[in-house]
Structure 1
Amino acid sequence: NQEWGWIKKNAVINCSLIYKKSDEVSTPTDEMLEGATLSKDTDTLIKASKNWIRIELKGLVTTLLLERKKHPKKTPMNTFLKLIINTIYGTIASEFFSVENVCVSSVVIGNNITARARCLAWCMAKGFHSVMSITDGGVFDVNSVLFYKRKSLNLLEGLHRDKLSENTINNRRKFCYKKPLMGFEIDFNNPNCYKLMLENMGFIPDVDDKKNKYTCLSIIDKKAWEHLASIFDIDIFNYNQFEFETKDIYTKLILHSKVDYYLEKPNNNGYTIAFRGMPKVWDDSIKSKVINPLALDLFKAIENDTPLKIEIDTSELLSLSDYQIKKKSDGNYPLLPHDSVSVKKVFYSHSPKSSRVASLSELKKLEKRYETAKKSENAIEVAAVKKWGERLSKD
């Protein structure tokens, strides 16, 4: 209640839908079976029934989720069941099934489901002090998560640029501090780290250290969920509406942007790369596509603070929007959407996309400078924009 004024001032409602209890029916009415009537000119709703039918999906989805857990990840049956589960959500969320005579979906309900997952990611960012959030996850330091003396939506929203989040001494206004999630620090570069962690918690380690690692990751998951639940008094945690897992442990991170990253396992024992837009290349030894080695060159350039530009000639599917633009300027344009087209892609090591600015106006200034620098095709000029963005972040 005390933050209702803040919500009214800052929230923007783009769309809402109300399902009245009084409009619920057990079987379809004639009006429902007629479907919806849309304007041919504006595609807006002209006529539709207000009645609705409740379809319980919990039993079906729970059965599928439990069955999927019986099969290891990336096995055919696990993948198959994952696709079936995703299809249930996709049917709810897709506009394709929401008009005319197939009113089985609601984009508003789909938005609410997605909003809860986004809310969880937001809570993870604020509770773990994540380096980044990607859809429904992120990267965080298990030895340095946030604990709060007090909190409000206003404080949490501005946390990433607020100096009060730092461990300053004798700062009476400080509202949060950093502390190890487990209550003690873990040196993941130590080959015996999982054994030591279990012993520190009073558990007897297994002789198989792979099992020790699995046990430790499960404990971290449980502790992480409890940590978030202690901060946020919301349905997601009160009713355990989600669950999450720690995918793996890494001791080195190189960021290119908010979504492009290099993660290295302890003692240089493997790595994971994500580089959106970078086309994968075929590896004949494993008969599969892999990350382009040029992505590694870009991350190495970031690590050494050496501006680098890489050009790649590749092909991609013609998008519908690009097709429409081409067709508008050339009525005889020969290609169709999803036809393969040749493109030249340019990547820069020093991207300002990872800069966290204080306002939308500053973000627009940053993007404008970035677009201008890219036109020069000069890696040093692009790197200068990144440094300018970093100064904005500090300010």
Structure 2
Amino acid sequence: MSYNISTVTQTVVSCNPTSSTLTIATDSEWHSPTNEWLATSFTTHDGVNKCGEYLFITNNLTEDVKQTLLIWGNTNLVTVQFVDRNDNTNLLDSVVGNTDPPGRYKSIRLLIYYSPKDIEYSLGWGLVEPLIRGEVIQQKRGVSTPKPFKLRNSFNNTEYNVSVKDLRGWSAGSLKSLAGTVGLTMVSKNDMDEYKTRMRDGLEALPTVFASYAMGDTAILHDIYNAYVEMVRWVQHDVIGIPLDDCFTGDDIPMTVGSLVAATLDKWIYTQYPNKQVLKFAMNKLGILDVNASDHKFSVAAFVNTTKKYSGHKKTGGIVNLTNDLDRWVVNQKADEFKLLNQFMKGGTYQHLAHSQAGVKYFSKVTGDSATFNAIVQGGRCNNERPSEYSINTVGADIDLASCYGSALRQFTYPLGLPTVWGYTPNQQRPTLRQWLKKNGSKLVDNLWTLTVEGDISFHQDLIYSKLVTQHQINRAAFGDVDKETNDDKRDDDISHIPGEFALIRKQIRNGIITSEVLTTLKAVATNKELSELYDNLTVVSGVAYLSSNQVSSVDEWVETVVNDTGVYINRGGVHSNSTDTRTRAWVALPMEEFIGKLVNERSRLKKAGKAGDDNAAARQNVLKLFVNTTYGVIASPFFSVGNTVVANNITARARVGAWMLNKALHTRQSITDGGMYSLMTVPYINTSIKPGLDLLSDNTRWVDPHNSDRRTLAPLGKDIDWDTAVQNNDAEVLTKLDKVAGEHIAAFWGRYGLTLPFDIEHKLDNCFTTAAYISKAHYLLKTTGKAGDVYKIRGAREYTTDSGLRMHPTYELLKAMATGDDVFPTEMMYDHKSLMKIPKYNEVQNSSGYANLKDYRPGDEIVEERTARYNNTHIFCDTVNQFKNRVGRKTFEGGQPVELFERYRHMGISKVHYTMLMDNLGAFTNNK
């Protein structure tokens, strides 16, 4: 039996279109154990007002529950309908027919949050599944429709263009946290928490609470969408200074934070010159046309003729003529006289522009020489600094570099223009680092150059990481696999998505990155012999720089130089590999202080305003923080035109150097991007007359001088503070001194080298610990006496609740035993991995002859897979590439049978497993002795 309350008008507020787009938010509820559909809600919006709300609920309910829901719907002006839903039920069709009977709208903006099941339940699996298989509906950061799909409504016979807008792309957390980001509160969001995994029980027990909960998500999706758009417009216009007409609207706002920030940075660049169209002309002139564009032939003709027309004029003649023509073109772009100029100015005809030929996307497609390796962006330092141990049995602290990437960014500049690039053919001898610096060193600008180097050395070093990747792998990634998802924890810090291992090889360097910060540190710390060996043994694989000789003083000068430039990018006579690129290398520095600095300053102002009682300050702070934290990512990413590997590598190099300096001055046990834990009772001290080199600093177990402890010793931080009592009693008055005392210690340690830590420091006081344990590169446990309790950080594992029935990763149990001194290694290696089926995984499963156990799952379904933990020793120091590759290449299956790694000795205890890891010998105890 189906119910539909006729006394509730289908459209609460008459829809009066203010645009051609009808916005509809939808959300569904289902019973997790069985995936039984329970309800789908819709809220419709005409652009100004809410039009109507609809709640479709399973017909499989008692009459009492139905009547209760009908009364609730009548009271709250929600159309409630009970349906017997199947895979061909299109609920959205009914909603659109009721909301837009005349068919006045042309398109539908469908708002969801995170789950593809919301689309399935709205449209029906019969309609959605072909769209998913045909990749019309996709899922990367969120669910999306890169191009709208057509949907004809059966009520009004109108065909709509439907676009899915997944708000999850704006948040890494829950819908409630996203609402909080824009200052909204979800009143009913936690009302059904008790029934989260058994929603049918909740529907039957508390039907009106369930209904309010179900409608709550759709109602607030509209509010979040509108508020987020306005918040972004505030950031772009009021904070950064982008003209209001160029700010995003609800029609064109990107649906991921990365795309949003990248586009905002791009818009900011175009504000740096008073005439946006003239700057765009210059950007296009240094661009590279897209050979795959359908109108490429016409684009070539337009490019050649248009650039010739305005090039080669003395002083400002070209600019004057160009400005006049562009001003007239803006008014009448379809005029015959502007046919070529109009084609030249079209953005879609270019693969790269003036500011996108130093990014991952550009360099990764170079095939003729080693300039390809400029695509590498190395991530932050992530290293087990003392693998010979696995616990800290004294009180300790957790230290971070304050605002690591944000503070670095605001001190950097964004270079506008083409860089100078070094790449060598397979038949060409490459220069040594010494030779390259001798020739080019005087022209380098701090933080605006980067070199990729390789070579072998006779001493140990742990400052320069290697990237174990071939040119073929980089090219392959560029032409298809660059955005492929990966669960490889060795690529955690590789935001550039270039494949290969990011490894710290201590006596060999392969595709290591040297920047001005790294070179300064090497010069200050390396002994004369070490430095000489680095200069002569390392050869330059590739390089990219913005040279001081090419720098111009203003954007005006840069635009004039580019417009007047007569350089070309061609193959001479069309002969393959007989190429010439004489385009100007003029560049201008755009201070990131004018972008990041404004965001950070405004956030600081809002913090003060919030303390003074401004209720709106917190939400605006959140959005500003999002912009700051994401800017580095988009500069390092292969997906955006603003990407620049020079800037990205200099930022991450500064962070790596900072983390390295923390480690050497405090003996942190793990470095994890911007900090690490250390013992407050055993920090390194050094005689003022001594300056250890790279080799000694690379292994802190060698720190104490066995012949003279006065030269190098370990003692409590600050020496005269009772840290043990302070941590045991969680004494905030004493612990707040940590930043000052540690800062002074770090400054004194590096002062002898003439180095200064390039960051402020801060301690997480709640993470001060009594004991700690650590394993691998980034798994650790801190046992604290404060409100933090036991702090676990285990990459790739989740801490399930005790009533979930799911088995946790054995590393949780292992770390606990390590921290408490128990030598018992966990016996059970099996654990449960819970995840949601994503659209790419669904297509992979359906297109494969395997995955028999996953064939019946649909996107959004919860999957619990049984997995086996394996413990390798890739975190133990490696001197050579082969040593590292032997470790990462160990198989966990051979001949179809599982193969255990070092956990095979777990019956002998933690200490024996650890010993075999250090010995790098899987056969150490062949007789179990």
* Same structural fold, with TM-score higher than 0.5 when normalized by the shorter chain: yes
Task: Give the alignment partner of residue 898 of structure 2, picking from 375, 386, 390.
Answer: 375
Unaligned segments of structure 2, at least 5 residues: 1-522, 611-617, 907-911, 922-929
Q: 1:173 to 1:358 in 2, by over 3 A?
A: farther
Q: Secondary structure at the match of 1:147?
A: strand
Q: Secondary structure at the match of 1:279?
A: coil
Q: 1:152 to 1:300 in 2, by over 3 A?
A: closer
Q: 1:177 to 1:9 in 2, by over 3 A?
A: farther
Would you say the 8 A contact 2:683–2:715 is kept in 1? yes
Task: Give the alignment partner of residue 229 of structure 1, picking from 728, 747, 758.
Answer: 747
Q: Secondary structure at the match of 2:869?
A: strand
Name the CA distance, whole Å, in 2 between partners of 1:179 and 1:10: 38
Q: How far off its partner does 1:184 sit? A: 2.5
Would you say the 8 A contact 1:256–1:351 is kept in 2? no
Cα deviation, 1:181-201, whole Å, max 9, x if unaligned, reads 21235343557857xxxxxxx
Give the aligned residue type for 1:259. Answer: A
Cα deviation, 1:318-374, whole Å, max 9, x if unaligned, reads 7989999997999xxx99xx98895543225x6535434555444444445674799
Q: How far off its partner does 1:138 sit? A: 0.7
Aligned residue runs from structure 1 range 37-56, under 5 A:
49-56=584-591
Would you say the 8 A contact 1:126–1:156 is kept in 2? no
2:628 corresponds in structure 1 to 85
Q: Secondary structure at the match of 2:761?
A: coil
Out of 110-119 and 264-273, give the one that drifted further.
264-273
Would you say the 8 A contact 1:253–1:261 is kept in 2? yes
1:252 corresponds in structure 2 to 771
1:29 corresponds in structure 2 to 559
1:243 corresponds in structure 2 to 760
Would you say the 8 A contact 1:311–1:345 is kept in 2? yes
Q: Secondary structure at the match of 1:120?
A: helix
Name the CA distance, whole Å, in 1 between partners of 2:800 and 2:582: 52
1:142 corresponds in structure 2 to 680
Give the aligned residue type for 1:249. Answer: C
Aligned residue runs from structure 1 range 45-124, under 5 A:
49-69=584-604, 70=607, 76-98=619-641, 104-124=642-662
Q: 1:227 to 1:340 in 2, by over 3 A?
A: farther
Name the CA distance, whole Å, in 2 between partners of 1:324 and 1:12: 42
Q: 1:225 to 1:301 in 2, by over 3 A?
A: closer
Would you say the 8 A contact 1:318–1:339 is kept in 2? yes
- 1:126 lines up with 2:661 in the alignment: no
**More strand per residue: 1 or 2?**
2
Q: Secondary structure at the match of 2:694?
A: helix
Aligned residue runs from structure 1 range 276-287, under 5 A:
276-279=795-798, 281=800
Would you say the 8 A contact 1:259–1:274 is kept in 2? yes
Cα deviation, 1:138-194, whole Å, max 9, x if unaligned, reads 1111221112332343334432353xx1363xx049852112221235343557857
Give the aligned residue type for 2:718. Answer: M
TM-score normalised by length of structure 1 = 0.68
Q: Secondary structure at the match of 1:245?
A: strand
TM-score normalised by length of structure 2 = 0.32
Name the CA distance, whole Å, in 1 between partners of 2:550 and 2:917: 53
Aligned length: 350
Q: Secondary structure at the match of 1:108?
A: helix
2:918 corresponds in structure 1 to 390
Give the aligned residue type for 1:92. Answer: I
Would you say the 8 A contact 1:188–1:266 is kept in 2? no
1:7 corresponds in structure 2 to 534
Give the aligned residue type for 2:750. Answer: F
Give the aligned residue type for 1:315. Answer: S
Name the CA distance, whole Å, in 2 between partners of 1:178 and 1:140: 12
Give the aligned residue type for 1:84. Answer: F
Q: How far off its partner does 1:375 sit? A: 3.1
Would you say the 8 A contact 1:366–1:385 is kept in 2? no
Give the aligned residue type for 2:712. Answer: C
Cα deviation, 1:367-393, whole Å, max 9, x if unaligned, reads 456747993358741646643122469
Q: How far off its partner does 1:105 sit? A: 4.2
Q: 1:136 to 1:380 in 2, by over 3 A?
A: closer
Would you say the 8 A contact 2:656–2:673 is kept in 1? yes
Q: 1:226 to 1:183 in 2, by over 3 A?
A: same
Q: 1:217 to 1:190 in 2, by over 3 A?
A: closer
Give the aligned residue type for 2:738. Answer: I
Q: 1:341 to 1:191 in 2, by over 3 A?
A: closer
Q: 1:366 to 1:192 in 2, by over 3 A?
A: closer
Q: Give the superposed CA RMSD.
A: 4.9
Would you say the 8 A contact 2:668–2:676 is kept in 1? yes
Would you say the 8 A contact 1:167–1:178 is kept in 2? no
Name the CA distance, whole Å, in 2 between partners of 1:227 and 1:129: 12
Q: 1:133 to 1:269 in 2, by over 3 A?
A: closer
Name the CA distance, whole Å, in 2 between partners of 1:243 and 1:32: 40
Q: Secondary structure at the match of 2:867?
A: strand
Name the CA distance, whole Å, in 2 between partners of 1:234 and 1:48: 46
Which structure has more RCO (C-alpha within 8 Å, separation ≥ 6)?
2
Q: How far off its partner does 1:300 sit? A: 3.4
Q: How far off its partner does 1:301 sit? A: 4.8
1:275 corresponds in structure 2 to 794
Cα deviation, 1:24-53, whole Å, max 9, x if unaligned, reads 23234388589x9799x99x9978641212
Aligned residue runs from structure 1 range 289-308, under 5 A:
296-302=812-818, 303-308=822-827
Q: How far off its partner does 1:314 sit? A: 2.8
Would you say the 8 A contact 1:357–1:389 is kept in 2? no
Name the CA distance, whole Å, in 2 between partners of 1:142 and 1:315: 39
Q: How far off its partner does 1:313 sit? A: 4.0
Percent identity, aligned pairs only? 23
1:345 corresponds in structure 2 to 867
